[in-house]
Amino acid sequence: AQSVAQPEDQVNVAEGNPLTVKCTYSVSGNPYLFWYVQYPNRGLQFLLKYITGDNLVKGSYGFEAEFNKSQTSFHLKKPSALVSDSALYFCAVETARQLTFGSGTQLTVLP
Amino acid sequence: KAGVTQTPRYLIKTRGQQVTLSCSPISGHRSVSWYQQTPGQGLQFLFEYFSETQRNKGNFPGRFSGRQFSNSRSEMNVSTLELGDSALYLCASSSATGGLNNEQFFGPGTRLTVL
């Protein structure tokens, strides 16, 4: 069965600094990986996805993610964090049209 | 294009009652999926409908059911509500023309509170 792990419940970073939100996955076959963001009292917003091809995926709002097959990781990154990036971030893997989510990481960007 | 809409946004029910939640997908999208979000269990897949047929189902009891109409709108029903059913219920739509890897667009959710 597929699974996704987000090892950090909380990540704090200063505004202007680079940020990384970690994600590792376990899935048989080729992984289809996603990052979503959730703001308070809102649904999930799609950030980016990895299907195949280039290991560095660029997404919305300046975010990018690096797919590493040997480490089964798909970490979310941004070169310079903004206070407005503060939100709950979810990594997910899709199999059979079903998304399996990680537990989420609360990102707080400090001014 | 209008996004995914869910109604109502908030619901308060008591144990033993039943509830119906509604989801209207993005125009042209034929796949609708439902997810439950709770602080304890996180985001969990409930089921997916495509062209009025349930294609996939998560590990939830039979009290949770759904359906999809010919216009792709979907409803989710929970019968005999329990306190543990209190959650944010999210609906997502995708074009999902049969293949994998279609991006799912989420609605704002329905916050269900069971007293």
Other beta carbons less than 10 A from residue A39's beta carbon: 12
- pLDDT tens for A1-10 read 789 999 999 9
Q: Using the beta-carbon criterion (under 8 Å), do B42 and A99 form an inter-chain contact?
A: no
User: What is the reported pLDDT for B96?
Assistant: 60
Nearest CB neighbour to B107, from listed A36, A43, A95 = A43
Half-sphere exposure of A98 (CA within 13 A, CB side): 22
Residue in chain A nearest B35 by alpha carbon: A99
Integer Cα distance of A65 and A53 in angstroms:
13
Integer Cα distance of B89 and B104 in angstroms:
15
- pLDDT tens for A39-64 read 987 889 999 999 888 899 999 999 99
Q: Which amino acid is at A56?
A: L
Whether A89 and chain B come into contact, CB under 8 Å, resolves to no
Residue A50 and residue A65 in contact, taking contact as beta carbons nearer than 8 Å: yes
User: What is the reported pLDDT for A97?
Assistant: 77
- pLDDT tens for B4-59 read 999 999 999 999 999 999 999 999 899 999 999 999 899 999 999 999 999 989 99
- pLDDT tens for B51-103 read 999 998 999 999 999 999 999 999 999 999 999 999 999 999 988 665 455 68
